[in-house]
Structure 1
């Protein structure tokens, strides 16, 4: 049997030959993650889980504790009521754990949904989601593209970080776009001069590597065009622009995850590990505003969850769930590194403040 990593490398090598021997990193990253049947998110690897013994590579907040989804459901319920909608859209639903938590919590709150729509390109993950959500088969549907008209509350937990990025490298005072080539029988880094620049000038003359996020920003613009009524909540690790392009962040944020360990080389073990970059939340906010959406709030995950009622829910949870809850809010774990941003079309932006941003909103720092 052919090794999928070998097959994926062969496909990328053929693309390199067709493109004159060089691919921009965002093209390479898209293939490494999403090539049908072979990419990291489209093959049958476990990906999500608590430990490497189960074959997983990382854990996300919904897998840590249902308190995450149950708390987020409080925000969802308020947003549904404020925008007069009755559908939730989730992008990149992983194992389906967050969907299950939100659906069940909304039912307990007496706020049933008309429909829960999952947008996911991965066939293998869809099957896991169907199994997780079997009890709600009449409520959940799957789509692989956005319709022209959407209404409802949009959720994206660790979605923006998985969108392909371009790499910019300042070397010897000159800017290059860093891409991928084939050299000495293997994939290798290769730089080409470019007119592209980071959105902020980076002081100093030292060598500097960073990312820009045209695909994430294009996604937000498309969402703005399609979402006519409702609100969108994105939870992810990242920074505002001034922190993202800080002179001391000279190695960028690109990172790979495999077996609950991280490394910085995406050119090996193709399809076997996650490739990700932190989110530039200022860029997301500006793209949304340029497309006519309003920024309803931006804050840390810890502040968002505490505002939305996490502690009240934790009172009835067991000791293990409360221990996992600490990972969601502790500054040295997910609480500060992860941020939450809410967006809404102009028709749904006035007259309400989302629960999660009632205190500690940082929109002014974007």
Structure 2
């Protein structure tokens, strides 16, 4: 049966307010147990992923016109069908291969990939989805069952990484939602850690001596490259990226990981005029930079340092397969041909512009390929490879 939202607007608002209040109390209690403050990454972790309460695991709608933001699969099926064309190129070279999607959101991308692969007779053995939210799992399952009922048995939802996998890993707008550490330079240029405390029931932010292992070393490494040196400069560092890629590499025996997100190479990420970092929040299609509003009801993101991604990937045992803009990746994967074959070409042309134009998603979003156990030239990176910028 399709999922239905039986709540009225007032009931939904009341439910969300209760969830937010409970999450705030949970965060305040953890601050108290930690002695009065938490590293920002722990606050972000709780705000997004606290069991039953965090933004990505509670029941509010997140994707599309009725949510807080729109991702590429909601804009046009062309996006997922292009991803499928890249997947097919990998799957034809690996017998009995799977696809693993991280954080499948509304399920739109899974439907698009599976639908296209069925069209060209290139289906994987299994389509695995690693999704932390029970509510989103049900939405994904319901969507696939409605639109591709014959393929639902090919789909499996996971609680953690599989023991082993061969094939394709897809992570669309996953890295930007990883909790990040934040730092600020004092008047002498020395790094401090941004932490979250509480005063009179409200969350507060302060800069204190660094206590998170590895953070100071990473800031000093940036400064050794001539970056992040101006007093007052603030930004983010994702210390969870390395362990995540290491765990993925341990399990991916052979195949290609596609990482799709908004971000920059390191020199652009930490350029002097980006002096307040890239942290951004999304609430009902409004973007702002205050992570302490709408606790548990808004997305909190940071742009991706793709130089850090490739460094961590190489250290974990991957090879860099390519790095390019979303526009060039989609062109390499045949978006023009898919568009010409579409029965609603006019409508899809307007959507394609959002995916491709530099002023929309075309250049703001990047695609990185990390492969393991195979050295191939993949079609998605054939039009223009920007790996030399990293």
Whether contact under 8 Å (2:185, 2:229) holds in the other structure is: no
Counterpart among 19, 30, 34 of residue 15 in structure 1? 30
- Provide the C-alpha distance between the structure 2 equivalents of 1:116 and 1:320, rounded to a whole number of angstroms: 29
Whether contact under 8 Å (2:263, 2:366) holds in the other structure is: yes
SS of structure 1 residue aligned to 2:295: coil
SS of structure 2 residue aligned to 1:335: coil
Q: 1:260 and 1:203, CA in 2 relative to 1: closer, same or farther beyond 3 A? A: closer
**Which residue number in structure 2 is paired with residue 241 of structure 1?**
266
Whether contact under 8 Å (1:203, 1:247) holds in the other structure is: yes
* Cα distance, 1:204 vs structure 2: 4.7
Counterpart among 263, 271, 280 of residue 255 in structure 1? 280
- Provide the C-alpha distance between the structure 2 equivalents of 1:230 and 1:237, rounded to a whole number of angstroms: 23
Structure 2: 5+ residue stretches without partners: 1-14, 211-215
**Which residue number in structure 2 is paired with residue 223 of structure 1?**
248
**Which residue number in structure 2 is paired with residue 78 of structure 1?**
89
Counterpart among 378, 386, 390 of residue 354 in structure 1? 378
Whether contact under 8 Å (1:73, 1:102) holds in the other structure is: yes
The number of aligned residues is 359
**Which residue number in structure 2 is paired with residue 329 of structure 1?**
356
* Cα distance, 1:83 vs structure 2: 3.8
SS of structure 2 residue aligned to 1:156: strand
- Provide the C-alpha distance between the structure 2 equivalents of 1:7 and 1:203, rounded to a whole number of angstroms: 37
2:57 matched to 1:42? yes
* Cα distance, 1:320 vs structure 2: 1.4
- Provide the C-alpha distance between the structure 1 equivalents of 2:78 and 2:162, rounded to a whole number of angstroms: 31
- Bigger shift: residues 9-18 or 166-175: 166-175
Give a deviation string over 1:20-40, Cα, whole Å, max 9, x none: 011001100010001111110
SS of structure 1 residue aligned to 2:359: helix
2:179 matched to 1:161? no
- Provide the C-alpha distance between the structure 2 equivalents of 1:44 and 1:38, rounded to a whole number of angstroms: 9
**Which residue number in structure 1 is paired with residue 389 of structure 2?**
365
SS of structure 1 residue aligned to 2:363: helix
- Structural RMSD (CA): 1.3
Give a deviation string over 1:266-286, Cα, whole Å, max 9, x none: 112111100000011111111
SS of structure 2 residue aligned to 1:133: helix
Counterpart among 284, 288, 291 of residue 316 in structure 2? 291
- Provide the C-alpha distance between the structure 1 equivalents of 2:265 and 2:251, rounded to a whole number of angstroms: 26
* Cα distance, 1:84 vs structure 2: 3.9
- Provide the C-alpha distance between the structure 2 equivalents of 1:364 and 1:84, rounded to a whole number of angstroms: 32
Q: 1:74 and 1:238, CA in 2 relative to 1: closer, same or farther beyond 3 A? A: same
* Cα distance, 1:85 vs structure 2: 4.6
Give a deviation string over 1:30-82, Cα, whole Å, max 9, x none: 10001111110011111001x2xx2x100000010101111111100001123
**Which residue number in structure 1 is paired with residue 203 of structure 2?**
187
* Cα distance, 1:196 vs structure 2: 4.4
SS of structure 2 residue aligned to 1:161: helix
- Bigger shift: residues 28-37 or 194-203: 194-203
Whether contact under 8 Å (1:294, 1:343) holds in the other structure is: yes
Whether contact under 8 Å (1:13, 1:182) holds in the other structure is: yes
- Provide the C-alpha distance between the structure 2 equivalents of 1:72 and 1:233, rounded to a whole number of angstroms: 9
Counterpart among 139, 149, 161 of residue 146 in structure 1? 161
Say which structure is richer in strand.
1
- Provide the C-alpha distance between the structure 2 equivalents of 1:250 and 1:66, rounded to a whole number of angstroms: 37
Q: Provide TM-score, normalisation by structure 2.
A: 0.90
Counterpart among 325, 332, 355 of residue 307 in structure 1? 332
- Provide the C-alpha distance between the structure 1 equivalents of 2:59 and 2:115, rounded to a whole number of angstroms: 27
* Cα distance, 1:170 vs structure 2: 1.1
Whether contact under 8 Å (2:80, 2:113) holds in the other structure is: yes
- Provide the C-alpha distance between the structure 2 equivalents of 1:268 and 1:364, rounded to a whole number of angstroms: 39
- Bigger shift: residues 174-183 or 295-304: 174-183
